[in-house]
Amino acid sequence: MNKIAVAGTGYVGLVAGVCFAEVGHQVTCVDIDENKVRLMESGVSPIYEADLEELMQKNYAAGRLHYTTDYKSAYKDADAIFIGVGTPEQPDGSANLSYIATVARQIAETVEKDCLVVVKSTVPVGTNDKVEKFIKDFLVNDVKVEVASNPEFLAQGSAVHDTLHAARIIIGTESKWAEEMLRKIYEPFNLPIVSVSRRSAEMIKYASNDFLALKISYMNDIANLCELVGADIQDVAKGMSYDERIGAKFLNAGIGYGGSCFPKDTKALEYLARQHGYELRTIKAAIDVNKDQKTMLYKKACRRLITFSGLKVAILGLTFKPGTDDLREAPSLENIPLLLDAGADIYAYDPVGIENFKKKYSEGKNGQGSIKYVESVEEALKDANVCFIFTEWGEIKAVKPEQYKKLMRTALVYDGRNIYDVEAMFKAGVEYYSIGRPYMK
């Protein structure tokens, strides 16, 4: 078994570290955030992911998993150092590689034996080459350091399951030594391994994510047309899904993709193409459609209502998708400022996202409007004039159409996730607008 260090304990780094320990490796997870490290040492996960805490506690107790802010002790004698720090979007759309550079420098200054540095973070094509050169430039000891690409494909909300049962492991290496080392590390997972060059591995990650983003934007584009011509996007998607060339997944129309990956990875690939004098028209279209899609329901509601000022607005769901506490690029973050500017009194419910949302919008008066965070769907809906559904949490899907009619002052619902049957809402007396489906009156 190998001695592994993981830099960064976010969704990718922590889950990777825990899963490496679960299959028997000796793992030290490194983060600069002392609070996170303290929390993890006490058995608590700093992020919300199914099964994660249980595996953290199990492997910590077994002595296979450690947490530290002291990167020197973790890197100096590791066989492999996985980098899972953030690569956030910069204002021009490019990926910010400063966190990667910091870790690369820390590795160069501390490694005392030959080691493989594995970049798990999503980075533009060519970054692994640069990281390797950068480490060699700053290397303090006379040791061999090679860099490999091993992009991550987990989805937040099912990250542990996706790691232990990944459809494939992509490894991008430039030597047999690096390839063999990664094959050995991943052997206990017993998963298909696709071995390619570093640059191809980096491109596989962007091409995969951007294809999925494109698929979502395509369905949203078709959904918007469905509304105009009287077709139903859910029936259309169902009909399409039987074609194996299309597949049944990622055909749900909605309020647009969010999260930490699709928005930034589409922009980063488009930026990379531009840098090389190429216009990536398909991805540009995906980005444009998504931008408009996020505020589609707000604009619809503006056409229906005279004003939001003084209205009680119920918001169901704040996170970018169910199963996560992550708010990055969530549709709620686009719509809530618009509603507040318009004077709405918001009553927001989310089963896990409220604490993170409070860091952005504290409770009480906000601009022209106000926000109150509530602990149940019922509290949010009680006497509301209008309701927006932004996340399809199980707790929200469980609300029956009749409850909207019974609890709200005006049963007016804008559903960004197409949770309900249009006819069922109509029969319950709810004025119901969704995405790409006919409105019944």
Q: Is 32 in the site for ligand NAD (CB under 6 A)?
A: yes
Of residues 19, 29, 115, 261, which has the active-site annotation?
261
Nearest approach, Cβ of 7 to ligand NAD (angstroms)?
4
Instruction: State in Å, rounded, how far the first CA of the chain is from the last one.
Output: 65
19 is catalytic: no
- Residue ranges for the known binding site are 31, 36, 87, 122, 205, 250-254, 258, 264, 321, 328
| Complex with ligand NAD: residue 11 or 20, whichever CB lies closer | 11
Nearest approach, Cβ of 42 to ligand NAD (angstroms)?
16
Q: Is 99 in the site for ligand NAD (CB under 6 A)?
A: yes
Q: Is 171 in the site for ligand NAD (CB under 6 A)?
A: no
> Which 340-379 residues touch ligand NAD, going by CB under 6 A?
none
Q: What is the DSSP letter of 210?
A: H
Helices (H), 187-330: 198-229, 233-241, 262-275, 281-294, 296-304
Report the distance separating Cα 163 and Cα 239, nearest Å: 31
Strands 364-366, 369-373: pairing is antiparallel
Beta-bridge mates of residue 82: 6, 118
Nearest approach, Cβ of 257 to ligand NAD (angstroms)?
12
Nearest approach, Cβ of 189 to ligand NAD (angstroms)?
17
Given a contact cutoff of 8 angstroms between Cβ atoms, the answer to whether 179 and 171 are in contact is yes
Q: Within 13 A of 121's CA, how many CA atoms are on the CB side?
A: 30
| Complex with ligand NAD: residue 86 or 436, whichever CB lies closer | 86
Query: Given candidates 28, 45, 59, 87, which one binds ligand NAD under the rule CB under 6 A?
Result: 87
- Residue ranges for the known binding site for NAD(+) are 31, 36, 87, 122, 264, 328
Query: Given candidates 5, 7, 65, 301, which one binds ligand NAD under the rule CB under 6 A?
Result: 7
Q: Within 13 A of 129's CA, how many CA atoms are on the CB side?
A: 9
Nearest approach, Cβ of 338 to ligand NAD (angstroms)?
26
Nearest approach, Cβ of 286 to ligand NAD (angstroms)?
17
Candidates 11-19, 131-139, 365-373, 374-382: pick the segment binding ligand NAD (CB under 6 A): 11-19
Q: Is 428 in the site for ligand NAD (CB under 6 A)?
A: no
Instruction: Look at residues 19, 175, 180 and name the one whose alpha carbon lies nearest to residue 84.
Output: 19
Query: Given candidates 4, 5, 12, 408, which one binds ligand NAD under the rule CB under 6 A?
Result: 12
- Residue ranges for the known binding site for substrate are 205, 250-254, 258, 321
DSSP string, 134-182: HHHHH--SS--EEEEE------TTSHHHHHHT-S-EEEE-SSHHHHHHH
> Which 135-154 residues touch ligand NAD, going by CB under 6 A?
152, 154
DSSP helix, strand, coil percent of the chain (3-state; round to 5) = 45, 15, 40
Report the distance separating Cα 205 and Cα 275, nearest Å: 19
What order of strands is seen across the sheet that includes strand 345-349?
A: 364-366, 369-373, 345-349, 312-316, 386-389, 412-415, 431-433
Residues 249-288: x where in contact with ligand NAD by CB under 6 A, - otherwise, as a string:
-----------xx---------------------------
| Complex with ligand NAD: residue 102 or 200, whichever CB lies closer | 102
Q: Is 166 in the site for ligand NAD (CB under 6 A)?
A: no
- For residue 273, what are its two tokens? 């193409």
Give the footprint of ligand NAD on this chain (CB under 6 A). 7-13, 30-33, 36, 84-87, 99, 102-103, 121-122, 152, 154, 156, 260-261
